[in-house]
Amino acid sequence: MSTVLPHAHWAPLAAAHAERVDALTQGHRERRASGRPHPVEDFLFTYYSFRPAQLRRWHPGVGIRLTDAEDHGTWRFYRWYDAAAGLDTDAFVESRGATVNFVRSLLTATAGRAPALGCFGLHEWAMVYRSGEVRHETWPLRLGRSGTDEVVERHTVRCSHYDAFRFFTDEARPRNMLQPTREQQVSLEQPGCLHVGMDLYKWAYKLTPAVPSSLLLDCFELARDIRALDMAASPYDLRKLGYTPVPIETPAGKAEYVRRQREFADRGQVLRQRLIAVCDHLATAVDGRNGR
């Protein structure tokens, strides 16, 4: 069953979405023109592959059709249903079905686990441990090289996220309690992990245009907020950018990190369930067409 929105209803939603995206991406777009990198705000466009122009394009999501939507009717994975344009569910699932199934299995498995809150963001420290190079070379290490190495050595590293672990230095990898692989992703990811929370944005855009743009942008904003903590708790000194350090090498810093980590885990669980619902809607629509 689909809902049909008249132009007078959906056009203001699309305009508000574009304004929201423009405000969130203004700094990145201006820096891109001048070549000035930002280790927090640019991350979502350098690590992830979705561009601001793609983020700005408004989609109502699966189950919603739009009247007077000539542009939408020409976009990929859309089709006309009489006088309304909407997601071509069959075409989308035929092309992206494997992605839908993987995302649903990953998100469902993650949602069913309790958040682990004892990592203290040491993944960023492990990425520079005993290395002559740093990923953000224009920003100083808050404790210097030896102090940074000492923090890693005084702590137990508990990173379960493969895409964070793969950036560890060679010397840091054996210090991690786990040796995560891509094949273990579904069995290892848990909702307390900052990178797992940021990745909700990735799964949302990989399911676009089936995912409504309001949900996609909610995931983007969560990822942006998480990245701010990720770098504030990192070994880098970003005070000149306005980021007060979260000194995870101290008891107070650890407590602050865990408090904010728990808040992000709660926000992520809500968005995770909304993404699972999109996957379920896609499966139900295809099953209905197939008479199952």
Compute the mean pLDDT over every residue in the chain, rounded to the nearest whole number: 93
pLDDT of residue 129 exceeding 60, the answer is: yes
Distance between CA 22 and CA 290 in Å, rounded? Answer: 41
* Mode of pairing for the β-strands spanning 64-67 and 78-81: unpaired
pLDDT tens-digit readout, 50-74:
999 999 999 999 999 999 999 999 9
Q: Which of 76-80, 98-102, 262-266, 288-292 is predicted least confidently?
A: 288-292
Rounded (10°) angle between helices 194-206 and 251-289: 30
Return the number of other C-beta atoms located less than 10 Å from residue 237's C-beta.
14
Q: Is the pLDDT of residue 15 over 60?
A: yes
pLDDT digits (tens, 9 = 90+) for 168-214: 999 999 999 999 999 999 999 999 999 999 999 999 999 999 999 99
pLDDT confidence band for 2 (50 / 70 / 90):
confident
Residue 184 is given by DSSP the state: G
Q: What is the DSSP letter of 141?
A: B
pLDDT at 292 over 90: no
pLDDT at 156 over 90: yes
Average pLDDT over residues 243-265: 97
**8 A C-beta contact, residue 104 and residue 279:** yes
Q: What whole-number distance in Å separates Cα of residue 126 and Cα of residue 122?
A: 6
Residue 231 has pLDDT above 60, yes or no: yes
End-to-end CA distance of the chain: 15
Alpha-carbon gap, residue 201 to 153, rounded angstroms: 32
C-alpha dihedral (157, 161, 162, 163), degrees to nearest 10 = -110
pLDDT given at position 105: 97
C-alpha count within 13 angstroms, C-beta hemisphere, residue 24: 22
Q: What is the pLDDT of residues 269-285, one digit of tens each?
A: 999 999 999 999 998 76
- The pLDDT score that the predictor gives to residue 18 is 96
* Domain containing residue 177: 3-289
pLDDT tens-digit readout, 135-155: 656 789 999 999 999 999 999
In degrees and rounded to multiples of 5, residue 80 shows phi and psi of -90, 135
Q: 235-250 pLDDT, tens per residue?
A: 999 999 999 999 999 9
Q: How would residue 134 be classed by pLDDT, with cut points 50, 70 and 90?
A: low
DSSP states of 45-87: HHTS---HHHHHS----TTEEEES-HHHHHSTTEEEETTEEEE
Whether residue 288 has pLDDT greater than 60: no
The residues near 225 (Cβ < 8 Å, ≥ 6 apart) are: 264
Q: CA angle at residue 70 from 65 to 74, to 5 degrees?
A: 90
Q: Which residues have a Cβ under 8 Å from the Cβ of 33 and sit 6 or more positions away?
A: none
pLDDT for residue 225 is more than 80: yes
- Closest-CA residue to 129 (of 181, 161, 163, 165): 165
- CA 193 vs CA 25, 154, 267: distances in Å: 25, 21, 12
Q: Which two tokens stand for residue 152?
A: 């890693």
Confidence of residue 93 (pLDDT cuts 50, 70, 90): very high
Domain count, the chain: 1
